[in-house]
């Protein structure tokens, strides 16, 4: 479930969502070559025919065109149907901040999208309308390392963390319930992956999510990951009960389904041990800019799990894992 919508620019950089075809406002000096507003027919090969690049659109050396292309390859390389052109890298009134303009289109498409973002003076981050993202040829590395070190929730799959799938989820989120079928497929299709569940209860809209998370953390602590995933399946199956008077009984039933003692789990859930594990997971999610559930991190690359069809999600995972061999 979303707390806020993903911007067009951020969405385009994360997953293969439809490109936005609204032309960005161009800077006043120097003025880039005008991007045609009319549809641009593809060439004989189906490749989009981008307008010629004007070298006057490049008046700064940081980031370099190669830096931008490497970043876009890391972000979009899994999508063989998407083509792009670095159309300009320009100075801005803010010292050291550069404006980057990208033209992008799908093969066979009749329109060209314009994507604009700003790169910070140190070349490590980009700014979109409502987000700050890591920038560079390996933009997911920092998140990847952070998750390898700190994503210590219940896990299954491979013991090694070379290939890591981390789900941030909320037990009262309907989309998280729906995503569990996707998770089961991922675990089967990617046996080389270390899958981790991290609690991210959206307490402002789901009043029982935090309590369900602390119960789950205690089941994992006392009875292990296998017991936790049985507990989680039971909670998601009885998710509607969390909103009513039967919420506590639903949690007790779920603990029992996991093979745990519900009385011991209840006592743990009210203790620093149970709450501390959930609070640490929430802090980690916030540091990673998680703002909706379910959110899946693929070796540090964040993908809203319900935003893409399963086969496309597999393609993204295959591509990211190939980069991290």
In a domain? residue 147: yes
Structure tokens at 255: 């603990």
Q: What is the DSSP string of 262-307?
A: HHHHHHHHTSHHHHHHHHHHHHHHHHTT--BSSEEEETTEEEETTS
In a domain? residue 250: yes
Task: For residues 104 and 253, state if they share a domain.
Answer: no
In a domain? residue 124: yes
| Domain stop point among 136, 162, 190 | 136
What pTM, to 2 d.p., does this model score? 0.89
In a domain? residue 113: yes
Task: For residues 111 and 148, state if they share a domain.
Answer: no
- 218 to each of 12, 177, 226, 231, 261, how far by Cα in Å? 38, 20, 13, 11, 10
Task: For residues 149 and 232, state if they share a domain.
Answer: yes
Task: For residues 313 and 201, state if they share a domain.
Answer: yes
- Position 111 scores a pLDDT of 85
Task: For residues 236 and 311, state if they share a domain.
Answer: yes
Q: How far apart are CA 321 and CA 325, in angstroms?
A: 6
Closest CA to 232 of 219, 245, 242: 219
Q: Which residues have CB under 8 Å from 241's CB, separation 6+?
A: 247, 249, 250
For residue 271, how many other CB atoms are within 10 A of its CB? Answer: 11
Distance between terminal CA atoms of the chain? 32
In a domain? residue 81: yes
| Domain stop point among 91, 111, 136 | 136
Residue-level length of the chain: 325
Task: For residues 241 and 303, state if they share a domain.
Answer: yes
In a domain? residue 1: no
Residue appearing with tokens 């390392």: 145
Q: How many domains does the chain have?
A: 2
| Domain stop point among 99, 119, 136 | 136
In a domain? residue 176: yes
- Position 23 scores a pLDDT of 34
Q: Which residues have CB under 8 Å from 162's CB, separation 6+?
A: 192, 194, 324
Q: What is the CATH number of the domain that holds 275?
A: 3.40.30.10
Task: For residues 108 and 180, state if they share a domain.
Answer: no
Structure tokens at 142: 């920092």
Pairing of β 98-106 and β 113-119: antiparallel
Q: What string of pLDDT tens digits covers the 325 residues of the chain?
A: 433 333 455 566 666 565 654 333 333 233 334 444 444 555 556 678 889 999 999 999 999 999 999 999 999 999 999 999 999 999 999 999 999 999 999 887 778 889 999 999 999 999 988 788 999 999 999 999 999 999 999 999 999 999 999 999 999 999 999 999 999 999 999 999 999 999 999 999 999 999 999 999 999 999 999 999 999 999 999 999 999 889 999 999 999 999 999 999 999 999 999 999 999 999 999 999 999 999 999 999 999 999 999 999 999 999 999 999 8
Task: For residues 235 and 276, state if they share a domain.
Answer: yes
Task: For residues 109 and 179, state if they share a domain.
Answer: no
Task: For residues 161 and 263, state if they share a domain.
Answer: yes
Task: For residues 16 and 156, state if they share a domain.
Answer: no
Note down the domain range covering 81: 8-136
Q: Which residues have CB under 8 Å from 131's CB, separation 6+?
A: 7, 9, 10, 289
In a domain? residue 181: yes
Task: For residues 201 and 56, state if they share a domain.
Answer: no
């Amino acid at each position: 479930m979303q707390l806020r919508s993903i911007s067009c620019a951020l969405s385009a950089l994360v997953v293969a969502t439809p490109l936005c075809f609204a032309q960005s406002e161009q800077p006043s000096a120097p003025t880039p070559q005008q991007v045609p507003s009319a549809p641009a027919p593809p060439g004989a090969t189906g490749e989009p025919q981008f307008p010629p690049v004007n070298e006057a659109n490049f008046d700064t050396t940081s980031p370099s065109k190669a830096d931008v292309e490497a970043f876009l390859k890391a972000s979009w390389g899994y999508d063989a149907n998407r083509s792009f052109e670095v159309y300009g890298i320009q100075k801005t009134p803010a010292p050291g901040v550069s404006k980057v303009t990208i033209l992008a289109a799908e093969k066979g498409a009749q329109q060209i999208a314009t994507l604009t973002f700003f790169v910070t003076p140190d070349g490590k981050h980009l700014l979109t309308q409502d987000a700050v993202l890591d920038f560079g040829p390996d933009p997911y590395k920092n998140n990847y390392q952070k998750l390898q070190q700190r994503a210590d929730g219940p896990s299954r799959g491979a013991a090694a963390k070379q290939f890591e799938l981390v789900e941030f989820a909320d037990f009262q989120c309907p989309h998280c319930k729906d995503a569990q079928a996707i998770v089961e497929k991922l675990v089967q299709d990617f046996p080389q992956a270390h899958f981790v569940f991290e609690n991210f209860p959206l307490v402002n809209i789901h009043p029982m999510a935090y309590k369900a998370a602390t119960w789950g953390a205690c089941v994992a602590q006392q009875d292990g990951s296998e017991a936790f995933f049985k507990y989680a399946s039971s909670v998601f199956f009885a998710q509607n009960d969390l909103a009513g008077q039967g919420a506590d009984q639903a949690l007790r039933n779920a603990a029992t389904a996991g093979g745990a003692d519900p009385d011991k789990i209840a006592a743990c859930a009210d203790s620093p041990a149970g709450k501390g594990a959930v609070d640490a997971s929430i802090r980690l999610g916030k540091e990673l800019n998680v703002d909706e559930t379910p959110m899946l991190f693929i070796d540090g690359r964040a993908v809203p799990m319900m935003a893409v069809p399963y086969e496309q999600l597999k393609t993204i995972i295959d591509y990211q894992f190939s980069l991290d061999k």
